[in-house]
Chains A and B, each alone.
Chain A
């Protein structure tokens, strides 16, 4: 037992002396967490929850009537001041060019006759042909241009309701004999305005409740940081397996095997070393992100338990990779490939909940998926009991993979003299 601990400790020391490995063990997860944090706006502390603000948009108003001006006013209103940064231009072609050059998220071009197509002429009582607002959207900014579209849609919706409201009311009044057709136009205009206003205040309120426990603050980085840590944990374990092959090539493994140690002890020692390294890596990342990003990981004891379980599951994979390849170089390449595949499959990069069921089922072969699930629960205020399924899954994964790798090792004679 003491020897196993000794072997493990040796590997831990070696791992932390390898500068190249440290880049991937500690630096990379940090850099990627930071990067993803930036993307999701988790670091900006911004007020809008989508992380978007000051969306650039160009407005071209060619409409002589009032509605064109009103739409421009909407974009320039105080309520939207933070969300959009509108710019008024007189030249539709130039506005489109700005979108094509990715200078702006969208161009809103209000054509001449837009108002006339909606509000009937006070003299004739007739409205012109309907013309369309051109919304020229930037495809490389789908979310931003989607927001602009929503604003325009809402405005048009409101105008439409005003128009229909006025029309329905007026024709009702005429049919019921309350007014004369000649009065229609004047009354209609007046009604339209008040109806449009009314449309703004919906009678159905939507109460948005955000998930769970108000006690624990949920931060996007709290999702990203474990994702990245778990992904690079896969690197650590495959790297650990790689060192076994390096030791075989360099002759320190055969030397160990002629020392009074059983092959099982050597293998266990190696696994223990990888386990220690992985645990150290996870804990360093967790502590550092707590200090640097003010992340709240949740109940410390439960977090520790989950970390240990994740490392067990991952070490299982590391051993399997080692058992399957022949050279250290192969171990390194396969290791990085598996790291990336598991990263994506396990949800380290993006929320896999939107993906099809087969995908989510497949993701369960990765320690990342179980781990992320657990860390998610803990961050949302869960306790040890909530992550019991995850811990069980991870431990089972570790045990099964260990068994398979041991069998392969024996058969290939890697740990024979």
Chain B
């Protein structure tokens, strides 16, 4: 046990001997979490910006813009045509809505209107803009539609005496329809998880968990760098001429890596709780289980890699690359739902996917210990398999 602590201490000194380590340990993860979460809470608008060119300046166009403003997903930004086109060509906005001069209630009453929405291709943001605009337009035109139908129904039963009467009937119906629609009761209730304090979907939770996994997995894969280094310097060889067992060495090295990984995770979680106000802290037991299981799984992969890599440089490159690729495919950077179904199934072979799942259960779904046990079990399975491979193929030179 004393020896394990001695190895732990040595690993710790070696690791933090370079100030650059702090960059990877805390600074980069925080920076990335922060940027990916879209800046600080509150003072950053996560709505998609939509450039709006209002050539009509009518009541109807004002209603449209107000509707866009009220929507949760779009931030209309009124511009001149030239400005909007310039921003669009620079790809600063993903969509531009042009409201033509004839966009008025009168024209709408007479017949159909057309609007022009320019979108960047293959862009999720512009797709969202399209849907939102569509919905609002539907609402705007529906009252006119209702009034029209109402006039039609009246006309069918008893024709109007003159156009003025018909127009008055139309206006009354339009007015009634607009009022009635605006006071319509809420008929859909949305909820996100079954906990006492209702959880708001917060994209920043995704980035907090995802970045945590990315930046903890990379140094844990880096255990392979330690092994490669000790092989290269001959210290591992020397160690095995001392009365020290391989198991002791492995345990000490792992302990150091896993311990610091846990410290790192804890700091990132605290950042999530106190700075980003995320729901990490509601079930400490669940959190402890999933963090430990993740660290063990990743360290096991590091050990297994350590058995195969030849040089320190290789180990370094591989850790960064595997860490990033696994994080990406495990859903740590983008939600897994965006992946094709086959890929969603395929990535179940990655520990990052399970770690992410488990952490989202906690921070996003507000679930407790029992909910993360399956993920933790899978992660521990990874740990067992990769430790076995690593120890079986362990080389000391």
Contact = CB atoms under 8 A, between A and B. Distances in A.
B338 interface: yes
Contacts of A118: 187
Contacts of B187: 114, 117-118, 130-133, 156, 159-160
Contact of B313 (A21, A36, A114): A21
Given A19-B314, A353-B93, A133 B324 contact: no
Interface string A123-138: 0000000111111111
Residue of A154, A202, A205 with most partner-chain B CB within 10 A: A202
Interface stretch (A170-178, A258-266, A303-311): A170-178
A376 B91 contact: yes
Contact of A199 (B20, B119, B138): B138
B325 interface: yes
B176 A38 contact: no
A206 B137 CA distance: 9
A211 B201 contact: no
A211 B191 contact: no
Interface string B118-142: 1111111101001101110111111
A208 B130 contact: yes
B328 A36 contact: yes
Interface stretch (B31-39, B235-243, B266-274, B385-393): B31-39
Interface stretch (B177-185, B246-254, B291-299): B177-185
B57 interface: no
A50 B121 CA distance: 10
Given A142-B335, A169-B153, A204-B141, A21 B317 contact: yes
A158 to B, nearest CB: 9
Contact of A49 (B127, B158, B205): B127
Given A169-B153, A351-B123, A161 B337 contact: no
B13 interface: no
A257 interface: no
A33 B357 CA distance: 23
B131 A150 contact: yes
Contact of B114 (A142, A154, A168, A205): A205
Nearest to A198: B145
Interface string B297-318: 0000000000000110111111
Given A49-B122, A136-B191, A172 B114 contact: no
Interface in B152-193: 153-154, 157-158, 169, 172-173, 176-177, 180-181, 184-193
Interface stretch (B1-9, B255-263, B359-367, B376-384): B359-367
A173 B187 CA distance: 27
A32 B44 contact: no
Given A20-B317, A32-B328, A139 B192 contact: yes
A340 B138 CA distance: 44
Contacts of B202: 139
A359 B367 CA distance: 35
Interface string B96-114: 0000000000001001111
A137 B201 contact: yes
A331 B384 CA distance: 35
Interface residues of A, number: 112
B117 interface: yes
B134 A206 contact: yes
B117 A206 contact: yes
Contact of A206 (B32, B115, B120, B338): B115
B31 A20 contact: no
B289 interface: no
Given A35-B325, A135-B189, A333-B18, A23 B184 contact: no
A39 B364 contact: no
Interface stretch (A4-12, A40-48, A75-83): A40-48
A108 to B, nearest CB: 9
B193 A160 contact: no
B121 A137 contact: no
B317 A100 contact: no
Q: Which of A203, A208, A340, A376 neighbours the largest number of chain B CB atoms within 10 Å of its CB?
A: A203
Interface stretch (B76-84, B280-288, B339-347): B339-347
B234 interface: no
Chain B interface SS verdict (over half) = helix
Contacts of A350: 36
A18 B314 CA distance: 9
A165 B157 CA distance: 17
Contacts of B144: 203
B396 interface: no
A87 to B, nearest CB: 15
A91 interface: no
Interface string B18-60: 1011011000100110011011000010001100000000000
A149 B122 CA distance: 22
A287 interface: no
B394 interface: no
A337 B20 contact: yes
A167 interface: yes
A329 B18 contact: yes
Contacts of B176: 168, 171-172
A373 B91 CA distance: 9
A157 B139 contact: yes
A165 to B, nearest CB: 4
A211 B120 contact: yes
B334 interface: yes
A149 B325 contact: no
Contact of A153 (B94, B135, B172): B135
B278 to A, nearest CB: 12
Given A51-B338, A333-B20, A356-B44, A164 B180 contact: yes
A53 B342 CA distance: 12
A79 to B, nearest CB: 15
A20 B305 CA distance: 14
The 10 closest A-B pairs by CB, nearest first: A20-B313, A20-B314, A141-B337, A130-B185, A333-B20, A169-B150, A132-B189, A28-B321, A165-B146, A139-B364
24 contacts: A20-B313, A31-B321, A39-B339, A51-B338, A55-B337, A130-B186, A132-B189, A140-B206, A149-B190, A159-B187, A165-B150, A168-B173, A171-B176, A194-B149, A199-B138, A203-B112, A203-B141, A207-B117, A332-B316, A333-B18, A336-B320, A340-B32, A353-B92, A354-B94
Interface of A: 18-21, 23-24, 27-28, 31-32, 35-36, 38-44, 46, 49-55, 96, 100, 102, 105, 114, 117-118, 130-144, 149-150, 152-154, 156-157, 159-161, 163-165, 167-169, 171-173, 176, 178-179, 191, 194-195, 198-199, 202-211, 218-220, 223, 329-330, 332-334, 336-337, 340-341, 344-345, 349-351, 353-356, 359-360, 373, 376
Given A39-B328, A159-B187, A168-B173, 10 more contacts: A20-B311, A55-B337, A135-B190, A139-B199, A161-B146, A329-B18, A330-B18, A333-B18, A351-B123, A355-B38
